[in-house]
Structure 1
Amino acid sequence: MIDYINIYLSDFDFKLWQSDSRLQFQFKIADELDENDNVIQTSSEIAQYKGLDFIHTLSGQCLVKGSIHRFFNAGGNNGNRFTFSNFVEAVEDLGSFGVVLDKAILRSFEFGLNLPIHEKHLTAKSFYNSIIYRSGEIEKCMSDDGNSLIGKQFITEDTTVKSYDKKQQAKLESTNEIVRYELRFRRMRLIKRLGITSLKDITDKNKLIELFEKKLLKSVSESIYFDWKALPNTNKLPDYQKKKFLNWRNPKWWKEQSMTRKARNKNKISFEKLIQKHAKHDIKEILKQKLINEFSSVIESPNFPSDNNTQKKQGTLAGCIVNGNRVGETTTVKKKYCLTCGKEITHQKSDSKYCNDQRKCRDKAYNLKVSEKRQAKRSQKEKEIINLIKDLGNEFNLIRTTNPNRKKRKGVPSRKTSIVVTIGGKKKYYHGADARFFLNEFEKKTESKEFNPIPTP
């Protein structure tokens, strides 16, 4: 769960640490990165204790950096399960060093889970090698002390997404392989809106649940995954998809700068549908389910049942992402279809009514609504005309300005049909379709022997 922390202690008296026999401070000069990732030299007094560094800078600031997980394990490795209650206990132990939780300001921290792999056809390498693209992020390889590849990390200005072999990194003797998936918040501006600024905030179970749903799970959903072993060739694919598949499985193709965000997202959706239909397994969905199951265990909350079988029955695999519900709640994803063409649009926004393909369906529906309004208005006008002719008969004078039966000729501008009806000395005008309808109805109701030709000016 929460691991590497970097906290600044406001209103803190360094004398508390100086008088603590557990902390032996040494003067050190170290290279660190500033906010713009530039290397700067810093001088400070540092005391190391059970995986944490207690730091007093020359400017008078007091900081605590390091693995809170290792601190809980008395300086041991951080490859085992670290539950919410374990984390709270470790944070409370920091109180013995004078750390006040609401005055311990977070500068950065890691939020992730150790996921045991029980599947025979998968390894830790399968998971981190399957990430082929993350939008707008710099990809870097991770290595252990012996410079062997153990994972991948994707870096932005504010966050770093890491996926790596925890068993190899921590030199564990576990029988199962373990993949670590974590999100490091290098700056706090992204999660201030979640109300997380201090060490006290991340001891709030509800805020951690929200952080898991809105940040950690979302980071998986935003990534493009492809496991070569699940779909090694194009034999199963229809001909029209084979060429697309060759592009989709190529990480360089996704990085083309000419591709718009909308086009990339459309291809991502099509690619994931192809994987779900034809691949032996969907490694992205497997990772999501593992994260949900493991978080259900470590958070120790009734909203997150630890029974894996119950979770599968409840369908929490995608419910927390699609509907935004709490993980562990019973969720049923209701399929949606375009109101115009009938195409499935479940993957689109919750308020979507039409598919997004070149806006054809949306425009067609809009034009249909406009047409219906015009038709309703025209029907009302026609009803008015019929009632007028029925009530007054021939008791009014009618002037026709054009011939309504005149055929349109190419290149010859047509004249609008207009009529002027005089009723009780008052004139009423009808134009276009209304005028033509009036004339047709008038001629139907008027007998030919009583009909006098209408003068044309």
Structure 2
Amino acid sequence: MIDFVKIKITDEALINQVWSNELLIYQGKSEKRFDDEIKELVTKSYKNLYFTKFQNRLEIKGSLHYFFNDGLHNANDFKIYDCIQTIEQIKELFKLDLNKCKLINLEYGVNVNPIIPVVDLVQNLIYHEKRQFTRPTTHFNYKIAGNEAYKQVKAYDKSVQFPNHCNNIFRFEIKTKQAKFINSLGLFTLQNLTEIKQFDTLINSLLKEWDNVLLFDKSKAVEDKFFNTNFWEEILKNGNRNKFNNQKRLYYKKLGADNLHINIKKIMQAKINHLKSVQIPTTINLETAH
């Protein structure tokens, strides 16, 4: 569920301890301007994790999911149990005090096999809240919303990225851009991401963001205006935010209970329940309890 994380450490003793770890491989130096003064930054790495030393802090960033898969991909299911074990492994490798590893950025989401081709699903994602979904590239299988905001919603076809590992897989993901959004969820340190209860908060957040999506379901017979992007743009252009929400509710009501938006949410909930299931060790292998 969790993919990319970025943390910072300001405790000097812990910084020195981590930085001197023999597992780290030197990557290079760079320069960055701070208050009209150019400072030198040094970066080291271990697998797909990057450690950058600033004047007053150490930042660590990378994908926990990639780390779990030895840096190869993040296309398979990454269960909550696996995520916690991965953090514990990193903790042991670098002797981290997880309470001193403050969260800066976080990406969390879910991979599902929808009931329609992913390219069609992505094409019909129109708004998240009042922010329009846009394509950052020429590809039709990738959209983002809220690029300028404190959080970003990403929706894309995971199987385009890793065709040998998955097929027709839709990734719906939240990327935080400011620590205050993470903090608003009650997440402050890496220690919080080892606590099962905190994942329920992330799950609720993810499903809430899906609820905020405007998705065209053209399999249903409703007025053409609801499938016209100009209709929604005009409402927002006229500054009538309440009307936008009211029309969105009316649109989903007209679609009925058996609509694409609701059905995708049900698929997400089923996948999340799978990700929450506990792995039980046996004498032969690890089996998943359902």
TM-score by length of 1: 0.55
Does residue 70 (structure 1) correspond to residue 60 (structure 2)? The answer is no
Cα 1:19–1:135, aligned 2, differ >3 Å: closer, same or farther?
closer
Q: Distance in 1 between matches of 2:166 and 2:25?
A: 38
> Residue 42 of structure 1: CA displacement?
7.1
Could you tell me which amino acid in structure 2 is paired with residue 207 of structure 1? Q
What is aligned with 1:50? 47
Query: CA offsets, 1:286-336, max 9 Å, x none?
Result: 2211211111111227xxxx86xxxxxxxxxxxxxxxxxxxxxxxxxxxxx
Query: CA offsets, 1:57-86, max 9 Å, x none?
Result: 2x1311111111101111110010001111
> Residue 174 of structure 1: CA displacement?
4.1
Kept in 2: contact 1:126–1:227 (CA 8 A): no
What is aligned with 1:247? 225
Number of equivalences = 273
What is aligned with 1:139? 133
Query: CA offsets, 1:390-412, max 9 Å, x none?
Result: xxxxxxxxxxxxxxxxxxxxxxx
Q: Distance in 2 between matches of 1:205 and 1:227?
A: 35
What is aligned with 1:28? 29
Cα 1:50–1:172, aligned 2, differ >3 Å: closer, same or farther?
farther
Kept in 2: contact 1:28–1:43 (CA 8 A): yes
Structure 1 residues 3-42: aligned runs within 5 Å: 3-13=3-13, 14-29=15-30
Could you tell me which amino acid in structure 1 is paired with residue 231 of structure 2? W
Taking every aligned residue pair, what percent have the same amino acid on both sides? 24
Structure (1 or 2) with the larger CA radius of gyration: 1
- Worse-superposed segment, 287-296 or 181-190: 181-190
Kept in 2: contact 1:166–1:178 (CA 8 A): yes
What is aligned with 2:208? 218
Kept in 2: contact 1:7–1:105 (CA 8 A): yes
Does residue 130 (structure 1) correspond to residue 124 (structure 2)? The answer is yes
> Residue 127 of structure 1: CA displacement?
2.1
- Runs of 4+ in structure 1 off by over 4 angstroms are none
Q: Distance in 2 between matches of 1:84 and 1:20?
A: 28
What is aligned with 1:109? 106
Q: Distance in 2 between matches of 1:30 and 1:179?
A: 38
Does residue 161 (structure 1) correspond to residue 153 (structure 2)? The answer is yes
Root-mean-square deviation over aligned CA pairs = 2.6
Kept in 2: contact 1:27–1:43 (CA 8 A): no
Kept in 2: contact 1:79–1:172 (CA 8 A): no
Cα 1:275–1:43, aligned 2, differ >3 Å: closer, same or farther?
farther
- Worse-superposed segment, 250-259 or 285-294: 250-259
Q: Which has the higher contact order (CA 8 A, sep 6+)?
A: 2
> Residue 18 of structure 1: CA displacement?
4.2
Q: Which has the higher strand share?
A: 2
Query: CA offsets, 1:83-142, max 9 Å, x none?
Result: 11111111012112132111110011011011134x4xx111122222112233253314
Query: Structure 2 unaligned runs (5+)?
Result: 279-288
What is aligned with 1:176? 167
Structure 1 residues 276-425: aligned runs within 5 Å: 276=256, 282-300=259-277
> Residue 247 of structure 1: CA displacement?
2.2
- SS of alignment partner, residue 177 of structure 1: coil
Q: Distance in 1 between matches of 2:42 and 2:193?
A: 27
TM-score by length of 2: 0.85
What is aligned with 1:190? 181
Kept in 2: contact 1:70–1:78 (CA 8 A): yes
